[in-house]
Each structure stands twice: as C-alpha cells, then as structure tokens.
A and B are shown apart, each in its own frame.
Chain A
Amino acid sequence: MGINLSLTVNGRAVSADVDPRTLLVQFLRDHLRLTGTHVGCDTGQCGACTVHLNDRAVKSCNLLALQAQGASVTTIEGIGEPGKLHPMQEAFRAHHGLQCGFCTPGIVMNAVELARKHPNPSEDTVRAELDGNLCRCTGYHNIVKAIVAGAAAMKQ
C-alpha cells in the first residue's frame, strides 16, 4: 500500500507513492538514485547517511521517508558539483580529510551545519560535535583540520 510523499529534494519538487516502511535514505538512494548518501551501519550510529532536513543534519537511515513529508531535504549532491565544490568539500580535498571516502558525504553534511552554528569552531568543538559520525580509516585528525578550514572558507 503506497502513501503519497511530496517534498523538495535539492531544490526540486519530488512526489512518489511509497510503502510506509521506506526509510528516507532508501527513498533518496533507490527512488531518486541519489547515491551520494551512504548506508553505513543502518542502526543510527555511524552518520554516513546524514542529510539536511529543513537545514538540520539528520540520519536518514533513522527516519521514515514519510517523516519528510512537505519538507526540504538537501543531500551531498545538492551542495556542490564536480568542478564547483562546496567550500567544505574543497577543504576536505585540500586537507586530505578522507581515506576510503565512505563516511565523507555524511561528515561533510554534518560539518556544514556545524559551521553554520559555530562559524569559528575550535578543534575541541569540532571533535565534540562530530559525535554522530564514525570514520574507520583516518583517526579523524585531517577531518578536524578540514572542518576548521571549511568553516573559515564558508564565511567568505
């Protein structure tokens, strides 16, 4: 049984009939083919699935798609594009804030909200506010550097 879901994704109006069980991340990846948002743990812990729901970072594996009814969702595809990266993405590239890259889209999305809330974040603030994202490669050091630099770049 499908229920109509209408929302805005990356500035574009989207409408579809979905099974109520559909998670927001499944809707984004499987229905809209926006596969930049990743499924890591699927238990609401790792943050690889982080997207913005009405400008707030949320874990899209831990929400039903229908909970985004009428809302505005932004995914990693909505903030930059090849050749024209978002300042936070550019900072991750410049500071090598990734190794395998799997967790990166979720961390970038969290970092963008973090930088809006803390325009001059200290390293301690960044580490504390990254509580909801796990990276199994880097040890976080370059991620933290990238976010501090990305936040500075976002002000310009």
Chain B
Amino acid sequence: MHAFDYHRPATIKEAASLLRKTENSRVLAGGQSLIPTLKFRLSKPSALIDLAGIGELRGIKLDGATLTIGAMTTHSEVASSKDVAIGIPTLARLAAGVGDRQVRNAGTIGGALANNDPAADYPAAVLGIGASVHTNKRVIPADKFFTGTLETALRAGEIITAVAFPLPKRAAYVKFRNPASRFALVGVFVAEGAGAVRVAVTGAAPCVFRVKEMEKRLGEKFAAEAIAKITVPPGTLNSDIHASAEYRSHLITVLAQRAVAAALAGK
C-alpha cells in the first residue's frame, strides 16, 4: 500500500468537510473491496475517511411502504434483519449470498453501491426494485445512479447515507455463480411493484442494466413463459475466460424466468 492519512469522523458533516478539504481522499466503508485495491496499489488516496464511527449511518427501518437501510449496515445485518425479512424477504436472501460469511460481517450496502462492481449483487436489487440512493446532498434514483464500470453518479465530496427501497408486491433474485470466484456470472433481479415490473441484470455487462422488453411483457402477464423468447443481444455483453457473451445472453433469459417463478412462489 502507498502511504495515506486516516481520519475517523463522528458525524456525516465532519466526514463531508474532511473529504472536501483533503484532496484525493477516499471514503472507507467496510473496506472489503477498497483494502484489496489499496494492496494492489490500484488506488493511491492521500487519506481515508473511515465512516465506521458515524452511528447515524447504521440501521434498518421499515416504515409504511418503504424499507430504509443505512449505508454502513453490513450484509450480515441485512441478511438477519426482521424488518428486511418482512418488507423484502428476497433482499435478505440476496444479502446472505454476498461473498462469504467473513465478507458479509464487514462489507456494507453503501460501500457495495459506491463501488458498483459489475458483478455485485446489490446494484441488481437497487435497480430492480427502483430504490433511491440518499446522500448527504440529494436523493439519486437508481436509474440515474449506476453510470458505468465501477462508476456512479456520486460527485466529489458526496457520501451515501442510506438506501430507500419501495416495497415490491413480489420480487426474486437468482444468480449463477462463477464456480471459482463465487461472484455472479449473471444475476437477475425481478420485481413487481406498484403497477410496473422491473428486471435488472448484473454480472453480464460492464454495468448493471434493465431489460425493458422483459419488463413490458411481464407487465402484461407476470409469468415465466412470457419472457421465454426474449434475449439480450450478446453484442452488449461481456465475453471472457469464464463465459462467452452468447452464454451470458442465454443465462439472462433462463435466470429471468427462474426469478419470475421464484417471485410467484414467494421464494
């Protein structure tokens, strides 16, 4: 690792001020992606602003039709939360399948979203449910948040504070794991919300994306067979040693149908 300074502010305001004042500083959440990046010297921040001391960034709240999860809430906390199990059970299961136990005990939802790894699970849930990302400055709708590989709409000095999920009528996430890394080779999140269906795909392309044609068909008829013949053209998908673009395209259609079936079965 290159040398860096370290700060542990106690409030969001103090963290934002440190970020603004310290050129080339970075936010540290759970560190499960950032620490390896620093070890490989792929990132050279002048300072890390650790959010672990900010109590207001933690916690889960189920309030009417919205489930709000604080940015520093760990995957384990989401996986074992009663409120998540009641509000969006598939989100609890998704969190229980991120990385491994040790990673889930340290990694956070805010960190996962700010990192926007193209094979991460949470971006599929946030885009699939149409959640909104709250920061210290504004509220960013999911459709505007994920802008590219490891890129988001977050601006310099902006810190994710929470994610607000509208409760879907039903939803499910199905992923096909890379057998070695256990990351999603392809993951599909399907959610039927207020009058609309959303389908979000992770792992298959440089950034999480929606499949509008599937959404339209599922809006007409929420059944697996409605999308059996809809494919995402391989031209826009990743091709690497793990899977060809054609295979990923195939997986999207198969997993999307499984996700619809799982949503219907309440699993």
Contacts and interface: CB of A to CB of B under 8 A. Distances in A.
Contact of A56 (B5, B38, B76, B182): B76
A50 B4 contact: no
Given A114-B101, A132-B100, 16 more contacts: A20-B6, A20-B48, A23-B35, A43-B39, A44-B103, A47-B102, A56-B76, A57-B105, A58-B102, A62-B106, A64-B50, A66-B50, A67-B31, A69-B52, A132-B99, A132-B101
B32 interface: yes
B241 interface: no
A69 to B, nearest CB: 6
A113 B35 contact: no
A150 B66 CA distance: 41
Contacts of B35: 23, 44, 62-64
Interface in B92-108: 99-103, 105-106
B150 interface: no
Contact of A21 (B1, B36, B99, B182): B1
Interface string B30-59: 011001101100000000101011000000
Interface residues of A, number: 29
The binding surface of chain A is classed by DSSP as: mixed
A62 B34 CA distance: 9
Contacts of B31: 62-64, 67
A44 B52 CA distance: 20
B250 interface: no
A20 B50 CA distance: 11
A131 B182 contact: yes
B8 interface: yes
Contact of A110 (B76, B102, B106): B102
Contacts of B76: 56
A86 interface: no
Nearest to A129: B101
A111 to B, nearest CB: 10
Contacts of A13: none
A154 B239 CA distance: 48
A62 B32 contact: yes
A21 B50 contact: no
A100 interface: no
B265 interface: no
